[in-house]
Structure 1
């Protein structure tokens, strides 16, 4: 049992190397847990509103957190240091994902967009617009070339991560 949560947990993620677990909390924090021992190794503080989504980088060294404060933060999983704050959404950020090749981060928001960020620089490279309701979830294809978005508008849209073109809509 992982002990230390005193607020609702909105999201959880395993590190790809299976050594860590990250949990997103309504108390504006992210907790990092040792998967083998259950010990809390880091409490990541820096968001000003609840955290709704967490994701690990493919090499397990970074954690991304998406928050109602309209930002995504990138954290060093070992030290707990915030290395980047990604700003640009105008509503809460509901989901975050790293691309499998580690080059991109995607963030889905209640502002009906997804932003694609350069993972190294934190620069927004694409803003994907086309949903008529909040975007609730985002995922990359295994080859990192496509991004799938789920929305409250009852659709899933597939986008080209490089060009920002919508290639398919599932109703």
Structure 2
């Protein structure tokens, strides 16, 4: 499958038997991973997508595209509903609610939208950002939505589309990645200003900004137990932090390109990272390589992920 140029990947959440790939040409691909030694491409959706995600039960795919629509697909590539229209500009980020009954999307004109699965708006359009909305996500209990924007803004919203807190002020420049802690009590963010920031749900900094990266931060993730945060940046390093902003290990180094994505293993004992130099690397929590670099892509890797059982990347 050398023609693949994956920009984002995700395993089906239930059993990891299907791999979702956002290809470099923006098409959506599905691979049957029942035999990991011989993956089989089962579907190609020739749609210009910027962001894709599985539903929590693994039976649907949501995508946001350059045509300004959000689309819901079955696993055989058929539309599961009419296109969700309303953004009118490219959609950069999409996510399912934890119970799979809602979808949130963020677009290039600063609007966040919440949808029912039939494409009906579940709330009024959410306005507040200036510039593109680059990252959106639901809280673990599904009662809040966080969004990060092009000009440093972070907002927390109710499902009715109302602000749930004052804007989170602190970042300078784009916020590329946001994530809720597993227990839903914190929001973490990373962006162009080289800082990781931890927030309460009231938008109050929960610690001083985490400083150490020497360039923009592209990806962040909470450990499964919520006690550590991992970040990857354009400086080519992966960093592991405690919740008070201290480094939990020396920077993980060994790349010639920016780190575009990081993820914890389900048991929290490993970190995987993907890079602009085309390599995937696996690390222990002390920053030691847990395996030789995974090479073969030869080009930018925007996204990496563990399978649900932690045995595949």
TM-score range, shorter chain: over 0.9
How many residue pairs align between the two structures? Answer: 167
Q: Could you tell me the TM-score, scaled by structure 1's length?
A: 0.93
> 1:19 is matched with which residue?
143
> 2:9 is matched with which residue?
none
- The separation in 2 between residues aligned to 1:141 and 1:17, in whole angstroms, is 22
2:253 is equivalent to residue 129 of structure 1: yes
Q: Could you tell me the TM-score, scaled by structure 2's length?
A: 0.52
Shift of 1:164: 1.2
Query: Which structure 1 residue ranges, 5 or more long, are not aligned?
Result: none
Q: For 1:14-163, list aligned pairs within 5 A.
A: 14-34=138-158, 36-42=159-165, 43-77=167-201, 79-84=202-207, 85-119=209-243, 121-126=244-249, 127-161=251-285, 163=286
Shift of 1:81: 0.2
Shift of 1:156: 1.1
Shift of 1:155: 1.1
Query: Which structure 2 residue ranges, 5 or more long, are not aligned?
Result: 1-112, 114-124, 296-313
- The separation in 2 between residues aligned to 1:137 and 1:165, in whole angstroms, is 18
- The separation in 1 between residues aligned to 2:188 and 2:273, in whole angstroms, is 18
Q: What per-residue deviation string (whole Å, max 9, x for no partner) do you get for residues 15-71 of structure 1?
A: 11211111110121111111x312222321111121111011011010001010000
- The separation in 1 between residues aligned to 2:179 and 2:231, in whole angstroms, is 11
Q: What per-residue deviation string (whole Å, max 9, x for no partner) do you get for residues 112-162 of structure 1?
A: 00110012x22112211011100001111111111010101111111111x
- The separation in 2 between residues aligned to 1:83 and 1:156, in whole angstroms, is 32
- The separation in 1 between residues aligned to 2:136 and 2:224, in whole angstroms, is 18
Cα RMSD over matched residues?
1.2
Relative to total residues, which structure has the larger strand share, 1 or 2? 1
SS for the counterpart of 2:277 is: coil
User: Higher relative CO (CA 8 A, sep ≥ 6), structure 1 or 2?
Assistant: 1
**Larger Cα-atom Rg:** 2
